[in-house]
């Protein structure tokens, strides 16, 4: 029997293994290796005391996160609770997923921490959905002032902060069963209350009422909104929100108001009135626009006199397609302050020149609320 010194034996084994790897053919296994799913450690549940709510009524939601294990502790990160809307998926009546710009959570960014959820334990808290999706479309486009049915699901995803504690960390995402709430239409009494607040309420109340009128499409109060924007005793902020409301719910009945406010000292009001006229034209409610609105739109389209609102006026003129706008648009092409404006003006001019008079063709995308600088 041949004996090798230990170091030579190791070299021989290495050589034999290397040779085998060089000449062996690897045959893929035909067996399906089952994937091992992680056990569901957490469960999310959301609750409401009732299903139907009035506009403006608090919507108190309770969020529960439960450790389903009877033996293991789960380490949770505080991060998902910094921004509470991240714990929810809400579909508005129009099918859009709701987002919030003004939300607050259980913890601040400076309070990031980990905390244990013991076996069978539950972490729960309650909050008002309206405060997470605050009232007022100027600040936040999504809130609960639109009548209709909302679908809400709870969601939780453990964060990467738990990676350093693999003994307690659970990595995954869980959803609750969806629930629905219904925001009811305003009653005649509630509409009357809104009108009274718009006439004699505080500035904040008036702004909130205007937001409700816009999002709930309370067209019966548009005449009152028109009076508000023309009332010099109303604050500038109130009149600006009134202008946005009139744009949002544009109606040919208020064309005189739109035209009269095109020469407002405030650029936001001028812009919103021009866009309201544009909206009327594109919806084929064109009576009186060429005869009465176009001459004023031409006046407020001068970028030197109206640098903060001329784009909205040109947008309206471009949609209308009136040949009288061509000299004004050519001036923008020659002297416009930004290349983006000049390029846009060239496109508007091309479409106006190619369009037969009397047709209605959108030439630029709808412009949203234009705020004064």
In terms of Cα–Cα distance, which of 140, 136, 70 is closest to 102? 140
Cα separations in angstroms, 50 against 47, 130, 327, 329 = 9, 15, 61, 56
Q: Provide the residue count of the chain.
A: 373
Partnered with residue 75 across adjacent β-strands are: 116, 169
For the chain, the maximum distance between any two Cα atoms, rounded to a whole number of angstroms, is 115
C-beta of residue 147 within 8 angstroms of C-beta of residue 185? yes
- For 45, the enclosing helix (H) or strand (E) is strand 42-48
pLDDT in tens, 294-337: 999 988 887 778 888 888 888 898 888 888 888 888 888 887 77
The reported pLDDT for the residue numbered 137 is 42
Listed in sequence order, the residues at least 6 apart from 165 whose beta carbon sits closer than 8 Å to its beta carbon are: 75, 114
Distance CA 169, CA 161 (A): 9
3-state secondary structure 48-74: ECCCEECCCCCCEEEEEEEECCCCCCE
Interval 246-305: pLDDT, tens: 999 999 999 999 999 998 999 999 999 999 999 999 889 999 999 999 999 988 887 778
Domain map of the chain by residue range? 42-183, 187-249, 252-373
pLDDT in tens, 50-60: 999 987 788 99
**Whether 289 contacts 277, CB under 8 Å:** yes
* DSSP state, residue 90: E
* Band (165; pLDDT cuts 50, 70, 90): low
One DSSP character per residue, 125-147 reads EEEEHHHHS-S-TTT-S--S-S-
Q: Quote the tokens at residue 147.
A: 């009548």
Q: How far apart are CA 288 and CA 217, in angstroms?
A: 24
| Per-residue pLDDT at 33 | 35
Structure-block tokens of residue 13 = 């084994």
In this prediction the pTM is 0.58
Smallest CA-to-CA distance from 218 within 60, 56, 95 is with 56
Q: Do the beta carbons of residue 61 and residue 127 sit within 8 Å?
A: yes
| Alpha carbon 244 to its chain's center | 17
User: Residue 364 in contact with residue 319, Cβ under 8 Å?
Assistant: yes
pLDDT at 361: 40
Q: How far apart are CA 35 and CA 270, in angstroms?
A: 63
Higher pLDDT, 81 or 361: 81
Q: Which two tokens stand for residue 125?
A: 């808290």
**244: three-class secondary structure by DSSP:** helix
- CA-wise closest residue to 60 among 69, 49, 70, 68: 49
Taking domain 42-183, whether its CATH number is 2.60.40.1180 is answered by: no
């Amino acid at each position: 029997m041949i004996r090798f010194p230990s170091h030579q034996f190791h070299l021989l084994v290495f050589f034999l293994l290397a040779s085998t790897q060089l000449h062996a053919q690897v045959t893929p296994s035909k067996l399906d290796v089952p994937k091992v799913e992680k056990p569901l450690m957490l469960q999310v549940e959301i609750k409401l005391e009732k299903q139907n709510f009035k506009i403006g009524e608090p919507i108190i939601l309770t969020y529960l996160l439960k450790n389903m294990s009877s033996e293991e502790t789960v380490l949770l990160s505080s991060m998902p609770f910094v921004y509470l809307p991240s714990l929810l998926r809400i579909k508005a009546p129009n099918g859009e997923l709701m987002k919030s710009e003004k939300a607050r959570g259980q913890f601040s960014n400076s309070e990031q921490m980990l905390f244990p959820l013991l076996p069978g334990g539950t972490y729960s808290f309650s909050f008002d959905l309206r405060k997470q999706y605050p009232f007022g479309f100027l600040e936040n486009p999504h809130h609960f002032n639109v009548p209709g049915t909302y679908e809400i699901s709870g969601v939780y995803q453990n964060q990467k902060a738990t990676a350093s504690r693999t003994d307690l960390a659970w990595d995954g995402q869980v959803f609750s069963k969806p629930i629905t709430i219904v925001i009811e239409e305003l009653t005649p009494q509630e509409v009357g209350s809104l009108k009274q607040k718009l006439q004699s309420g505080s500035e904040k109340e008036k702004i909130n009422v205007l937001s409700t009128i816009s999002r709930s499409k309370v067209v019966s109060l548009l005449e009152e909104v028109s009076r508000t924007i023309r009332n010099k005793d109303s604050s500038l902020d109130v009149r600006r929100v009134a202008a946005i409301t009139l744009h949002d719910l544009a109606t040919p009945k208020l064309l005189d108001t739109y035209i009269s406010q095109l020469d407002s000292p405030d650029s936001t009001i001028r812009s919103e009135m021009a866009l309201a006229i544009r909206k009327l034209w594109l919806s084929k409610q064109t009576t009186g626009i060429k005869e009465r609105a176009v001459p004023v739109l031409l006046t407020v389209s001068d970028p030197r006199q109206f640098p903060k609102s001329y784009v909205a006026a040109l947008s309206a003129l471009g949609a209308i397609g009136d040949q009288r706008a061509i000299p004004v648009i050519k001036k923008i092409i020659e002297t416009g302050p930004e290349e983006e404006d000049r390029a846009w003006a060239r496109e508007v001019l091309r479409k106006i020149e190619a369009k037969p008079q009397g047709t209605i063709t959108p030439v630029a995308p709808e412009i949203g609320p234009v705020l004064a600088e």
